[in-house]
Structure formats: structure tokens, C-alpha cells
Structure 1
Amino acid sequence: MSTYRLSNQGLEIAEQARQAKRWKRQDEKLARAALVSVATLKRFWGQQPIRADSFEHVCRALGLEDWQRLVEVEEERSLDFPQFAWDEFWVGREKLVVQLSERLQNSCRVLMLAGMTGIGKTALAEKLVLELQPLPNFSRINLDHREKTVEFSAIATQLLETWKQQISDSDRRDPQRLLNWLVSYLQQTPCFLLIDSLENVLRGSEQTGWSEFIDPLWVQFFQKLLAVETSASTVLLTSQDSPAQLVELGQRYGHLYQCCVLDGLTPEEQMSLFRQIGLLVEDPVVCDYLSRIGCAYEGHPLALRVIAGEISQAPFDGDVQAYWKRYGDEIERVKQLQQTAEIEGPHDALKLAQYSRNLRQRVRQRIDRTLRRLTEEVPLAYVVLCFGAVYRRPVPERFWLRSLEGRSLDENQQLAVLDALYDRYLAEQVVMDGDLMIRQHNLIRSIALDHLKNLQP
């Protein structure tokens, strides 16, 4: 992805345009109009490189349609890899970035970032790649498109060809040879491999509840990579599911493998995100509304970014109080329902992921896609998830298992169904007053309640 900076002449032109609009250099009105952060404006006016699309947006917000003539051509450069999720609005996770960077630079050969959709796995992976630059032989495999093959041999061929290895027709017909070749290459040649959306080469097991690799060669690949005495390479994974075979390998090679499960942003990180996007978080009233939003969404980065973007743009134009007046009832309702005496609320009809078009398109659709995959792989887990959504607060596991009554399942089979939900981060175990309980993320519950309507007669 290209980055641009202002030339000296471009700075003069931009200054004249800014003064004509009576904006300050780091004016929040300019930040909202350009859909960039105030920090990006500071770099823009300081003639420091920023992303090409951000550079264009700032110029157009200033009324400069011929923005190309403001670019310092000699400074045009390209980042080492295309970014899909990380950008200048990144906030938080500083300690985690330092910890994981150190692990990747030392003994860790395979690091998996796991968590629910939209929690920031891909963004964190890209941040780690940027922090570790320059990287030797960096390659990225994005498995986010289901129409692409799940066969390991196709991925191995793609990687080896990327690294200028000559693959014959005979090689292509021999998956085991390709596997050994790839492991040997990674062992001898320093490489950094990012595999995004690993869940798309997994399938759920109704017997165990765990996700497993569709192609067993994936298991062999990770087993061989972790078993060799030395390796010059590192593999970074992101996944919504936790593959059983990889978990088992991680237990055997704990010093070489790590799984990091991501949670939502902390309250402080949430405020940093809102501030970075240009919202006035210093105002006590505004800060209170934003805190309530962050709490309702449990710090979910994607949802909060969508909401902050909506507030920044027309018709709200940064007016948090106007946004709250329009949608606050839906957001506040989550907390109110959790505090009611009734533990069940099958008709709560929460709208956290659908009260606006942007939330429906960018948040609801992603979670719906995850639930569709669950219905295909472990249908009973989908049923339990939907019926479990009636509970407004954490409850014992037996409450969720009521939906399986009459299905002739023994205890192990019932627990396997719950494992399928834990494995996909669609439900989580928490300890309250010494008791083990089960709960759902507010976003998941909001959508699962909607799906429940289709299951009930």
C-alpha cells in the first residue's frame, strides 16, 4: 500500500485551502470530513508519509481535487505488504504487541491469534508484521474466501512458487512431496508466513465438538514444523476456531507454540479509539455516553469503529449527544435487561448489530456468516447457542443444555456440543462466586435471539 507526503509546494497549496475554510491544522472538523484521525492530520501537515487513501481524503476535504500535484514524488514508497485491517486508527494492546513481538523474535515458531469475528485478530497480526519489519521472505495466505481450495497441497505450491521454487507437474501430483519440501524450505530459509482466517480450512465435529482440519496434511505440516530440531521460520495464524489437533501439538511443543485469545478493548482503549477518530471525549457528558456504548458492546473493536464512524459523518457530524438521542435507548436496554429480576428474556429483541445500516452491513453480516458455518458443521451447537441466548446473565451450563433434552445424548455428547461453542468463541466460561457459569457476548446474544425466532414453532 502506497504512502505519500506533502511536497513543499503542496504544503503551501494546502495551507491556502485550509485558511480559506478557516480550519486549524488539526481541526476535528477537517478530521471528520476526511475520515482520518487527528494524529494523521498532524503527520500530514508535518510532511510525514501517510497512507495514500488518507492523503487523498484530506486533500479532497480541503477542496483540492487535483491532489496528486501536492505529492512529494520522490517520497512515494510502498509498505512491505497489503493491509486489510490495520490502519491509523489502531489503538491499545501495546503491552500485548511487545510481548508477542518478543515471542516471535525468540523461540516461538507458530503463534495463533484467536477470538470471535471482528475482535481484531487480523489487525493485530498486521500490526505485528509492521513492528517486526524488515521481515525475510514475508508471505501472506488469506483463507477468507470459501471458494478457494482447502487442500494443503495447493497452498504449499503457491508458497513455494512465491519463493521462486520450480514446481514440476510431477511435484504437483505428490502432496506429500510438497509438504516435505515446504517444511524443509522453512527449516533452512528464514521466512515469515501469515495465514489469515484458518477457520476456513477447518470443520466441526459433532462427536467431539472440536474443529479439525479438513485436509490431514495441515496437521502433518504443523507437526513436522514443530518437531524439527531447528527452524529458521515463523508462522503467524489468525482463526475464529481453535483446531483440536493444533491445541494438542501446542501442549506437546509448548515452548514453540502459543495461542493468544483476544478480548475486547479496555475502557481506556475504547476512549483512545473514539479520540483517535476525532470525537470530543474530554466532554464529561460525551464521555459518559461513549462509555455506555463501549460497555454495551464489550469493547468490540469493529462495532465501536462502525459506531464512531457513524457519529463522525452526516447527519450527526460528530455530535455524540444527537447520536445517543437517536439510538441510546437500544444501547441502554442491554444493561437494563441484565439488571432485571427475570433471568430469561426470549423476546428481548436486542438490536445491537442492526439498528443502523452500517452495523447491519459490517457487523451483523460477519456474525451471521459465522453462525451459518456453525449450522453446517455442528447443527446441535447452533440450537444450543440460540436457546442459550434467552439468558440475560451468566448461568450454569445445565441451563443451556436444557435445549438438548429429549435428544438421547449422553453427558459426554452434550458437553461436546458446548465445546463446539467454546471452540468458536461463541460462548465463554466464567467463574462467579466460585461457580462455573456460561455467558454470551452481548453482540452474539443480540443476533442469536433473532435466529431463535426461526427455530421456535
Structure 2
Amino acid sequence: MSNSLRASTAGLVIVDKARLRLGWTKTSTARWWVDAHTSRATLRRFWQGDRIQREIFIAICEAVGISDWEAIADASSGESAIIADISTPYLDWHEAPNVESFYGRNQELTQLEQWIFGGCKLVAIVGIGGIGKTALTLALIDRIQSQFNCLIWKSLQSTPSVDSLIDSLLANFEPSADIIYHLQKQRCLIILDGLEADSSIYNQFIQKISRYQHQSCIIITSRETPKTIEIDNKTVYCLNLKGLAKTEAVELLRSRGFTGKEIGLSALIHLYRGNPLALKLVTPLIQLVFGGNIAGFLTQNTLVIGDRLRDILKQQFAQLSDLEQDILYWLAIWQEPIAFARLQTHLFIAIDPAMVLEAIMALERRSLLEKWIGTAEIAFSLQPLVMKVVTDELVEHATTEIQQVIETQDLRHFQILRTHWLLRPGTDDIAGDRILHQLRENLWRVYGATLPQTLEPIFLLLKDKSPLAIGYIACNLAAIIQQLSI
């Protein structure tokens, strides 16, 4: 009996169905090759129809729940390799990450395939942090890599400059002065993962790739549409990735230990807008603290964000302009959709409407806004995940400002508290205001029962100051003190 086996064409179909049930990708789910005690390279050879060690072949099958491995193996005695759907002459994806699971996205995958095989030269996959851009790209590669002569994956987070990127790309080819030459000479699939807002150094490179004629395709993942990409209907496309559909999100939750029939499951998916990473991060808490009771978690009327996703969103927030941050702060204060005209009237300093519109467009391009289309005019709000992070940022900065003024007696430290009225416009419900309550709790932890007396001297500093200098400072401090007496 031979000590090596290869999969038959029919066997690969069976394995493919088994791994889809688990939400695994073909070659990027680390658990698969770990459970089989092998490597990604060997798993790739399995999919290519190459012969691999008998024990590993069996372990690969058993890892996805197939005990009848003989039904997968090729019974023929010939030595010719079966050409499966991921065979490529050259692969360089050492920088590609592993993914835990992947569900659904069939519509997105089909759309991407149609674009790429329809002559597309550049595809941008954009979306908010945790939405699954990289996982989608890895799943796409599973399906299309055999149609390319080479595949190269580059993580831009580890590439400090465009020159180093080009050098690392050229290292995969015979020496030549221009990367375009190689893209024209052979059909390459190049993935640039993680092009973010501050990566303007790549703009010229991206423009060059999309402008020149070649037979290759470049895929970019980013949290926003690169400004330099001119979307057309022939060679450059952009996929704005949204959250998982309900059925796909249910499958993800089932893989995390839920039955899919829990009360509140649909509400949980909607609350997190189908964000795969957010759902994965919140489920351990629901199981540990609430015993798997989703409805019990939802009654807390709060949003839990893991440190990983919080860091991603905070990093994105920090990269915004002052005007963009001011708009997000106001939307967090409102906590409901607000029309452009109404938003503009609440900006403390009058700003050219064109600048405000450009800022809103930039925020929407970064997938930070939700658009609401009513009978009158379009309104904007924040995604719940973004709302949570922006609210926390607002309270944290407001707390720091008050502490700095108390310590220095210098009103110049007031910025947000001068330009933003923290009480939700149109309401006098100070007792129930979430932001004011959160700010009061922060200050109480520092100053305790002395907080009212500590804040009083600040009102003396405001005397004889101009309305422009005072802004909303007095209103905000009075609201905090009023909350203390409730």
C-alpha cells in the first residue's frame, strides 16, 4: 500500500462542502492544519491534488469531520497530478493572515469574480474595521488563484514606504526596473492589505497601476475608498462591504455555541450591524456572564466592544480632521439621525457649508455614518459601534479638560466643552442624559463629594469673558452640578 495519497476531483467536492459547513476557508484557516498536525503549504498541496503523506491526508479529512477518507482519495494508480481549483505556479503570501472562520458572502464573491474576470485591473474592498475585508479577500483567493500565473500578498502595515513595497514586489520576479513590465508580461494577482487613510505615499503607485494597460489585477483592502481611485465601470471597481446578512450571522453565532433559535438573536445581530468581529468578541461575554441568554444581555441596554475592535475604531477616529471629529461628536450627542441643515446650525463656529458637506462625504466614505432617507431630506447617524467609541472619546476628553482647568485655572484647556453642548438638543432630561451621566461618574471617581465645590471656582473664571470664549462651558458645568443633586 502506498504511503502517499491524493484527493480525487469528486473527493475535493466533498471536502469543500464539509469545510463550508464549518465556516473554514480552503487554505487560510489555521485551525485546519493545526488540527491535522501539518502546515498551510501541505494543505495547499492537498487542494492542488498533489500526493501527500497518508497519515496527514487522513488527518486533513478527519479535521473537517470526514471519517471515510477512502471516499476522498483517488483510487487510480497513475502518478499524474490532479489540477484542482487553486493550482498556481508561484505563490507568495507569507504576509497573509490566518482566519478563524468565514461565512456567506456569496453575493460579494460572485460580484468580485465578475469584475476581475471581466477585465478589471484594480479592485478596492472597503469597510469599517472588523467587517471582514481581509477574510473576504482570502476566500476570494481560494476561488480564483488558479486563473493567475502568480499571487503575491503584501500587508501594508509592515511596509513603511512605496519604495520598499515596490522592492518587495520586484523581488518575486526577474530583475527589471518597472513593476508594470511584469504585470504586463504575466497575469498576476497582487493583494495590498490594509491601505489606510494616512497612506498617501501609495497614491501615485495606485494611480499608475490603474492607468497603465496590463493583464494583472490588484486588490486593495482599506477602511475607506482611496481618494486617488477614480471608479469606473470597466477597469476600476470598489466594493463597500457591509455587515453579514442575518442568515450568515446566525451561522457564525452557531459556530460560537448558540443554537440559532435564542430570543433576541435577531436584535443582537442588528445591534452590531452584522459586524463579524464584533459578534465574535461579544459572544464569550454573553455565554460567561449571562449563561448564553442573549435577551438578558440586551436588557442591559449597552454595547460591549472588545479591546481589539475598540483600538481599530479609536485609531480611525484619531486620523480624522478636527471638523470630522466635531461632526461625530454632535451625532453622538444627538443619538438619532440628523439632517445636514440641522447639524450645521449646531456647529459652534460658522463654517462654509461646502466644507461641512465634504467632511460628511469623507465620513461616509470611511463607513462611519449611517444614512437615513426620509420623506423630507437625508439624515445621518452613527453606527452603534462607532456611537459607542465616539461617546467614550467625548467623555474622556471632556473629563481631561475639566481636570486640566481645575489644576491650572486656565480656560484655554476647554475645547470640546466650549464648542459642544453635551445635553441632547431638544430635551431637558438631564437626569437621563447618558453622556452627562457618564461624565459625572468619571469626575466623581476623582473628586468624590467635593466635586460641586471643586467646579464652582470655574464659574468665577468665566466672568467678564465674551460669549465666544465661554461657549457652552457654563451650560455643561451647570448640568453636571444639577445631575449631582438628582
Q: TM-score, normalised by structure 2?
A: 0.62
Match of residue 225 from structure 1? 209
Match of residue 432 from structure 1? 374
1:320 aligns with 2:301: no
Cα distance in 1 between the residues matched to 2:360 and 2:145:
40
Cα distance in 2 between the residues matched to 1:431 and 1:268:
25
Q: 1:118 aligns with which of 120, 130, 141?
A: 130
Matches for 1:314-393 after TM superposition, within 5 Å: 319-321=291-293, 324-325=295-296, 327-330=297-300, 333=301, 351-354=302-305, 359=306, 361-374=307-320, 378-393=321-336
Residue by residue over 1:401-428, the C-alpha shift from the partner in whole angstroms, topping out at 9 and shown as x without a partner, is: 345332x422212222223312222114
CA gap 1:256/1:50 in 2 versus in 1, 3 angstroms? same
Amino acid corresponding to residue 104 of structure 2 in structure 1: G
Match of residue 98 from structure 1? 110
Amino acid corresponding to residue 145 of structure 2 in structure 1: Q
1:311 is displaced (CA, Å) by: 4.8
1:201 is displaced (CA, Å) by: 4.8
Contact 1:240/1:424 (8 A) holds in 2:
yes
1:396 is displaced (CA, Å) by: 0.3
Contact 1:353/1:363 (8 A) holds in 2:
no
SS for the counterpart of 1:159 is helix
Contact 1:384/1:401 (8 A) holds in 2:
no
Cα distance in 2 between the residues matched to 1:92 and 1:99:
13
Residue by residue over 1:330-351, the C-alpha shift from the partner in whole angstroms, topping out at 9 and shown as x without a partner, is: 3xx3xxxxxxxxxxxxxxxxx4
SS for the counterpart of 2:338 is coil
Residue by residue over 1:132-184, the C-alpha shift from the partner in whole angstroms, topping out at 9 and shown as x without a partner, is: 13242211111235xx41x3222111100122436xxxxxxxxxxx5xx0112
CA gap 1:221/1:364 in 2 versus in 1, 3 angstroms? closer
Cα distance in 1 between the residues matched to 2:162 and 2:216:
18
Matches for 1:44-123 after TM superposition, within 5 Å: 51-55=32-36, 72-73=55-56, 81=93, 83-84=96-97, 86-87=99-100, 89-123=101-135
Residue by residue over 1:80-111, the C-alpha shift from the partner in whole angstroms, topping out at 9 and shown as x without a partner, is: 64552534x31121122112112212211111
Match of residue 139 from structure 1? 152
Amino acid corresponding to residue 125 of structure 1 in structure 2: T
Contact 1:371/1:382 (8 A) holds in 2:
yes
Match of residue 245 from structure 1? 228
Cα distance in 2 between the residues matched to 1:99 and 1:42:
21
Q: 1:236 aligns with which of 209, 213, 219?
A: 219
Which runs of no fewer than 5 residues in structure 2 stay unpaired? 6-18, 38-52, 61-85, 399-415, 418-486
Cα distance in 2 between the residues matched to 1:41 and 1:138:
23
Cα distance in 1 between the residues matched to 2:331 and 2:23:
46
Cα distance in 2 between the residues matched to 1:42 and 1:108:
27
1:40 is displaced (CA, Å) by: 4.3
Contact 2:131/2:242 (8 A) holds in 1:
yes
Amino acid corresponding to residue 175 of structure 2 in structure 1: Q
Amino acid corresponding to residue 452 of structure 1 in structure 2: L
Contact 2:340/2:379 (8 A) holds in 1:
yes
Q: 1:161 aligns with which of 151, 171, 174?
A: 171
1:263 is displaced (CA, Å) by: 1.0
Cα distance in 2 between the residues matched to 1:71 and 1:389:
58
Match of residue 409 from structure 1? 351
Contact 1:143/1:198 (8 A) holds in 2:
yes
CA gap 1:401/1:133 in 2 versus in 1, 3 angstroms? same
Cα distance in 2 between the residues matched to 1:449 and 1:42:
36
Residue by residue over 1:58-79, the C-alpha shift from the partner in whole angstroms, topping out at 9 and shown as x without a partner, is: xxxxxxxxxxxx9924678999
Cα distance in 1 between the residues matched to 2:242 and 2:214:
31
Segments ≥4 residues shifted beyond 6 Å = 75-79
Larger RCO of the pair (alpha carbons < 8 Å, separation 6+): 1
Cα distance in 2 between the residues matched to 1:292 and 1:219:
40
1:195 is displaced (CA, Å) by: 0.4
1:293 aligns with 2:274: no
Contact 1:140/1:195 (8 A) holds in 2:
yes
Cα distance in 2 between the residues matched to 1:107 and 1:93:
22
Contact 2:264/2:295 (8 A) holds in 1:
yes
Match of residue 308 from structure 1? 283
Cα distance in 1 between the residues matched to 2:155 and 2:99:
15
Cα distance in 2 between the residues matched to 1:71 and 1:200:
48
1:447 is displaced (CA, Å) by: 1.2
Cα distance in 2 between the residues matched to 1:365 and 1:371:
10
Match of residue 394 from structure 2? 452
Is the deviation greater in 418-427 or in 183-192? 418-427
1:127 aligns with 2:130: no
Contact 2:23/2:102 (8 A) holds in 1:
no
Cα distance in 2 between the residues matched to 1:419 and 1:94:
29
Contact 1:183/1:221 (8 A) holds in 2:
no
SS for the counterpart of 1:141 is strand
Cα distance in 1 between the residues matched to 2:227 and 2:21:
42
Contact 1:242/1:424 (8 A) holds in 2:
yes
Count of aligned pairs between the two proteins: 334
Contact 2:127/2:242 (8 A) holds in 1:
yes
Contact 1:196/1:237 (8 A) holds in 2:
yes
Contact 2:23/2:103 (8 A) holds in 1:
no
1:391 is displaced (CA, Å) by: 2.2
CA gap 1:311/1:125 in 2 versus in 1, 3 angstroms? same
Which runs of no fewer than 5 residues in structure 1 stay unpaired? 6-36, 44-48, 57-69, 167-177, 203-212, 334-350
SS for the counterpart of 2:264 is helix
Match of residue 398 from structure 1? 341
Cα distance in 2 between the residues matched to 1:101 and 1:41:
20
Match of residue 66 from structure 1? none
Contact 1:114/1:262 (8 A) holds in 2:
yes
Q: TM-score, normalised by structure 1?
A: 0.65
